[in-house]
Each structure stands twice: as structure tokens, then as C-alpha cells.
Structure 1
């Protein structure tokens, strides 16, 4: 049975300007400049630089109001397609996205640099080797199997099968092993190794033979597991060597490159440049915050387009085509004014948010000591500036600040809190810094275990569990005590 009934529903919708503002806020300086350039190219009613007269906006409002009152075709703002203002495509972005993409995902244009790839670099070296047709095909296949780190992480039996099925080359493992030795002689040393052990041994064998190199090679070939576990006493007893001789061998091994592929410096590598969005300086004992000038461009509405509107207003006979034209002009002028206003709000939001963070962490910015970082979460700043947490997140996740102590990502200043023995809230960053300092000062012959580190932190007034110490140690990329041992 069908029934009709009325239902009142209160919903909140974002205006086109709010959508623009959210998208602009999350852009760092370089991306913002690209977005600004795109808007200037797409909207002829928007111009850069300083306008001679500031009365242009008033003139536009006057023309717009009078024309509407005169009974011309009125633009209903509810009929305006928001995507015309936010996208360069007539089809909204959400119509072309699959369900497995987040609504926060943005289209990213990835630039490509021309240059020689690592694999091509290896192939070019093979041109000087004397190889039969089949050996060349095998060598080319092996080079294609080398990963970014410079390793071949596949068994020779698998490579043998692939050569037969994909390259129609029937050979045996001995032939592949022979060609592999040729590939492993290429630059950089250690390339095409199948394990870390093999990689290091290949590099040692290409060095000048000295007692230290000879001993290091023997240790890696016969006692690799004992070496990785740092059982130094067993190595000294096994090879009848002194502690100094073992130190010399270890020194030779430490000079080797465990990732030979990482040493290739072809001209196809991209260099990322960080442009700080803010700058903090200490002037006369006070913190001074400035916003990068590239975030505050001078924009104005095109006078030429406003004059076109004025000409339409003064015209006595207004045809249908003229009305269509003026409707287009109004839309572009609206978009230009909205974009200018969104940029002004972006500047204000960025400055207010960073200013609140700066004063919240004033003690840190005055000293540069990470132990002075206060516990701070997004909600703390959001409550202080009376904005939403998502707005603070957009500022913190993608912006950098230039300080007297280096350029850092803003989100690095946010951390959770823990209670010390006095019941005070302290930042987890403070505890990590103290943990790092304790480990740096430990006796390297007898590194401190996680249990001992937890006991030391408790003595310093930070009662945390051993598993928490282990978690912080891993976050600091510090290995366990056994792997920190030195002789």
C-alpha cells in the first residue's frame, strides 16, 4: 500500500567556496603555486598583480545588482555546477572514481625525468663482454631480474624455467652460473648478488688483498652467521686472532655497500626540494612567525570583464545572445571573486593555525631542545583557534616550517602524552629523546637491554614498561642490544 507523507530534514551542505578553501588549505607552497597558475589560465576574469584601483569590486556589485533588478535573466546559485569552479572537467571527479579510492585522494601528476635506468646502465657495460647469442640473451635476462637494491632474489632453477618458457632458451644451471659471474663483475661492485653474504664477498674480492681483507673474506665465507650475531669471542677463538685483527676485518666489512643498486647515480633520479610554508625566527627574545610570500599572491578581478558588464548595462537593446554572454561573464567574475576570497581565507587559516602551534610549543622554539616539546594533539590546537580538527590536520600534514633548528614537517611537533612520576603530562618525544641519549652513552661492549633501559628511564622519573621501550627504540630505528655490540 502506497502512502504519501511530508518529512522535514535538516542537512548541512558545503558551499563551492568552502570546498575550494578546504582543497587550497591542504596544498603546500609548490602545489599551491601550480593551482594558482591553473586558475589564472582557466579563468580570464582573474588576473595577477596589483590593481591600480580598488573600486572595481564595488563597480561589479553595482552592475550586478542593477542588472538583476532590471529584470534580466537571473542566475540561480543553486543551479550552478560546483565542479565548474573546482575542476577543469565537465564531469565531476566522483563520477570517474572507483569505490576503492578515498574521497580525500587527490589527482597527482608525476613528472618523469629522462635518463638511463639502472638496468640499461648494466646492459651498456655488457656490450664489451665476449658472449655468444644465447649467453647474451641469458645475461640480458639476468640483468632484467636485478631489483632496485642490486640483487637477484630468484633461485637459478626458476630463472632456468623462465628462460625456457618465455625466451625459448634451453640451457642448464652451470651455463647460467657462468654468465652470472660475468654480470656480477659489472659496476657497481656486488651487483646481481643473490644474498647479502655473496654481495659483500664479491666486493671484498675486488679489493686489494691485505691481511684485513683476507680475514674479512674468510669470516664472511665460513662464519657469516656468527658474524651477523656479533659472537666476537667465538670468532677470536676459532681463527686464533687478536681483538685488533678482528677490528681490522670488521672495519673492512663496514666500508662495503650492502645495497649496490643504491649507489647508482644516473641522471634519472628526481631531487625533491622542500619549500618552507612558514618561517620562525627569534627577534629580541621573541618568536616571530612569517608566512612564505609565495602563499600570498596579489590577485584582482579583470577590469576588462567588468567593463564588458558595464557595456551590457548601458546598452538599450539587449538581445538573447547578449544575455547569454553576460551570464557567462557573471559566472567567471563570480568564480574569480570566490577564488580571491578563498586564498585570503587560506592565508588567514594557515597563519592562525601555525601561530597557535608556535605559542603552544614556545619553550621548544626558544631552545630547540626536543625534550621541551609539550604533548600536543590536533584537538588541542583546534580548540584553541576554534576550528575543526580536520582543518588543523590539513595544515599540519603537508606544510613545512623553517626554524633556527632546521626545516621540519609541522606534524612532527604533535605527540601523545604520558604521565611521569610526578603525575605531569610529558611528551612521548621527550621520552624518546632521553632514550636515544642513554643508548648513545652506553658502553658499546655491553649494550643495555630493553629491561635495563626501562629501569634507567624509571630512575629518571619515566615509569614505562619494557615493551614500550622496545616500541620507542624501533621507532627510533635503533637495533636490539645484541646488534649494537662493538669490540
Structure 2
């Protein structure tokens, strides 16, 4: 039996404009510029203002409820709403700190030979028959970006048979690996593990007593060396502490990743463009938004001329009405995009301003011990915005400070209580832990238990397992691996 009933539901839905605004807020400066370029290419009603100033619609307060698909009655369009003499957007009344020669912001890169291509070219210096060249080229192709061959030789033999139709033996592959591939530059390339890589580099250097000893230690006692069991090494090789120190210095000069040092790998270096800048002026903090986040946009002159022509025309043809419908849709989209940029700019400034004042002591001094415990909710409550909005600003934005360029999310941290019952930032505790480890006697590094006692004496009662967690987050090895002689 079918029944009909009415149900009332209260739902919260984000409009397409709100969703797009959230996406714009999340974008860092470079990605925002790409999004801006895309919008300008897709919407001919937008102009960047790089040429002579054009007319611009100043009214941004109206809401546009049509979705761009419904039929528009051209007689109902108020043309005057889309025409204005204002040439500059209301959010662009600030100085642009970028000169004309700063416009070309594409990152240059050098062209050249890639790492693997360089290795392939070096094979031409060896006299090899067709089968040997095929195997050698396959081995070079199996080298990773660090310079290692991490696959088992038997697997390589099978792959040569299945993919290259080359039937060979494990002994033949090993011979070509040692006598050809591992002779290529940079030295150490083609090694199957760190031990082999270091030994190859030592053997190519002129023979010296310390190098001969270093090779012997790596070949027979690599595990003891890696685990820093120095007493066992001195006893086994009957050497003094000074001789062992010379061996350690010699090995430390070697390159553990020969492939990554190749200058011609043409990898892009990460380029960070700060979204904000904080400066200290007359003892006060001054916050500015990167002017590249607030581009000058306006309606193109051609669109204004088309609208004026339609307004002044006495007889309005069907083609003119169709053109006005198209123009109206593009202008609505352009006006929303400009408004979204203004809202994005305001959101970024309000959020960063709140963070700056919350961490005022840190930004004034640069002392990480003065960072207060701060979570997303603290800032969201202050600026009366959603936590997700603060997260979007913090996760992908950078700020230039007198102490370097920082990722904003690094200023957020949880709190712990010290022995006085006061809330302190976990960042502060990590900084103190880092300083304690930095000042320790490297001949007798502090264990996690001892580190826990030291911090407890400083007023931070922290368990050993928490010390271990913070130490791992700081990429600091255990005490045994921090030992030096």
C-alpha cells in the first residue's frame, strides 16, 4: 500500500560559490596564481589590468541566484548594473610591492643530460659485444635515483630473459656489474647496498694505511661499525682510539647516495613563496599579505562596449539579445570571482592576524620556548569562523618572519602541564629536549631514561616513552647511535 506524507528537514548545504571559495582559501600563492590564470582564460569578461585601465563593476553586494542554465529575459536586465566608471577594485587600494620586472615568475631550470642518460653515454667508452651491452644497459636502467641496484641478481637474470630476450647467467651479470657498471661515474653507483657503495669508493682512492683499515672494517665488521660498537672494533683490529677516529673521519667523507649528488638530474628545487610577511617596526609587529594574493581584476573593455552598444540600440535583434544573455552570465561569474578574491584576502588576513597576536611573544623575539599551546579551535573561536577554514589557511601557507620563512601550521601545538601546573607548548618541550641532546657528552650520550630525569629537573615531568616519541619526531637517533669518540 502506497502512502504520501510530508517531512520537514533542516539541512545545511554549501552553495557552489562557497565550495569554490573554500578551495581558493586553501591554495598557496603559486597555486592561487595558476587558478587565477585559468579563470582569466576561461572567462573573457575578466581582465588583469596589465594594460591600460578598463572599466570595472564596483557593485559586489548583489546575490546572483540563476545557475547559468535558465532562460534570461533580456528585457529585465538592467544594463546600468553592469556598467561603471570605477577602474580599480575596492580591495586593490593598497600599494603593490612588485616592480614591473617581477612579472615573470616562472622558475628557470637548466637543461642537460639526466642521471641515467649520463650512465648510458658512459657505456660507450667500454668495448662490449651486443649481449654484454644489452645486459649493461639493463643494469643501468635498474639503478634507482640514489645510485643503487636494490634487486636480486637472479631476478635481473629472469627479467633479461622475459623482457629483453637475453638468456644469461647470474655470474655473467655479476661480472658486468662489477667490471663495467660499478666503474661508471659517480663512483659508488651500481652498488647493491651501503656497505658495497662505501667500499667501492674507498678502493678507487690511493692506497693509504687508514683506507686499507677502513676497507677491512667495512668488509668484516660492518654491523659493529654501524651500531658504533667502537670498543669491539678496537679490540678486534688491535688499534688505538685515535686510529679508529681517523677511520671514522675517512668513511664520513664518502657519499652514501652517489646518484642524488648528480648535478644534471634536472629536478626542480622546491620554491616557497610566503603568503604573509611579519616585520618588527618600532617594536611592534606589522603584518602584510603578499600582494600577489590580491591581483587587480576588472571587466574587459570589449564587454562594456558591447553592453553600451546594446543599450543604445533602438532595434534589438535576436542575435543581440543572445549576446547579452551570454555576457550577463560571464559578468555574473566574473563579479563572483572578484568577490571571492576579496573574501579570500580578508579571511587570510583575519586568520593570520589572530595567529600573530596569539603568538605575539614568539614573533617579537623568535624564541621558540615562548610559543604558546595553540590548537585550531583557539583561533576559530577568536575570529568566529569554522575550524576547517583555519585549517585550510594553516596547512598550506607560509609566513616570512625576521627569523626565517615558516609554515603556519608549525605554530600550532598541544599543551602539557609543567611542575607548576602551567600549560606549556609541546613545541617548547621539544626545543628544550633538542638543546639538552645538543649539549650532551657525545662520548656518553644520554639515554631516554636520563633525558626524562633531566627534563624533570627543569620542571617538565615527562615519561620516558614520551621522550622517545618526541625524539623520533625530531629525527634524533637513540643514545647508542649518537655516540662519538
TM-score tier by shorter-chain length is 0.7 to 0.9
TM-score under structure 1 length normalisation? 0.87
Q: Is the CA contact 2:415–2:426 (under 8 Å) kept in the aligned structure 1?
A: yes
The Cα of 1:356 is off from its aligned counterpart by 0.5
Aligned to 1:466: 464
Q: Which residue of 2 aligns with 1:108?
A: none
Which aligned pairs between 1:185-334 and structure 2 lie closer than 5 A? 185-334=183-332
Distance in 2, matches of 1:365 and 1:483, equals 35
Name the residue aligned to 1:141: 138
Task: List, as ranges, runs of 4+ consecutive aligned residues in structure 1 with deviation greater than 6 Å.
Answer: 50-55, 58-62
Which moves more between the two structures, 201-210 or 41-50? 41-50
Partner of 2:416: 418
Equivalent position of 1:41 in the other structure: 41
Report if aligned partners of 2:115, 2:265 keep a CA contact under 8 Å in 1: no
- Contact 2:55–2:298 (CA under 8 A) maintained in structure 1: no
| Paired residues of 2:54 and 2:299 also in contact (CA < 8 A) | no
| Equivalent-residue separation in structure 2 for 1:239 and 1:282 (angstroms) | 59
220-229 vs 39-48, which deviates more? 39-48
Query: TM-score, with normalisation over the residues of structure 2?
Result: 0.87
User: 1:25, CA displacement in angstroms?
Assistant: 0.9
Where does residue 15 of structure 1 map in the other structure?
15
What is the DSSP-based 3-state SS (H/G/I as helix, E as strand, rest coil) of the residue aligned with 1:279? Answer: strand
Tell me what 2:3 maps to. Answer: 3
Match of 1:120 in 2: 117
Contact 1:20–1:339 (CA<8 Å) still a contact in 2?
Answer: no
Aligned to 1:355: 353
**How many residue pairs align between the two structures?**
448
**Counterparts of 1:445 and 1:209, CA distance in 2:** 30
CA contact (8 A) 2:55 2:304 kept: no
> For residues 139 and 340 of structure 1, do their structure 2 counterparts lie closer, same or farther at Cα, with a shift above 3 Å needed?
same
Supply the distance in 2 between the matched residues of 1:41 and 1:285 (Cα, whole angstroms). 45
Question: Does 2:362 correspond to 1:364?
Answer: yes
1:149-188, aligned counterparts within 5 Å? 149-181=146-178, 182-188=180-186
* Structure 2 residue aligned with 1:338: 336
Q: Is the 8 A contact 1:371 1:433 kept in 2?
A: yes
Matching residue within 382, 385, 389 for 2:383: 385
Deviation for aligned residue 1:258:
1.1
User: C-alpha separation between the residues in 2 aligned to 1:223 and 1:72?
Assistant: 83
Mark the CA change 1:306 to 1:135 in structure 2 (over 3 Å): closer, same or farther.
same
Q: SS at the partner of 1:127?
A: helix
Structure 1 unaligned regions, length at least 5: 65-70, 77-110
SS in 2 for 1:184: helix
| Deviations 1:300-352, CA, capped at 9 Å, x for gaps | 22344234224323433333332221111111111111111111111111111
Q: Which runs of 5+ in 2 are unaligned?
A: 65-70, 77-107
Q: What is the alpha-carbon root mean square deviation over aligned residues? A: 2.7
* Secondary structure of residue in 2 paired with 1:268: coil
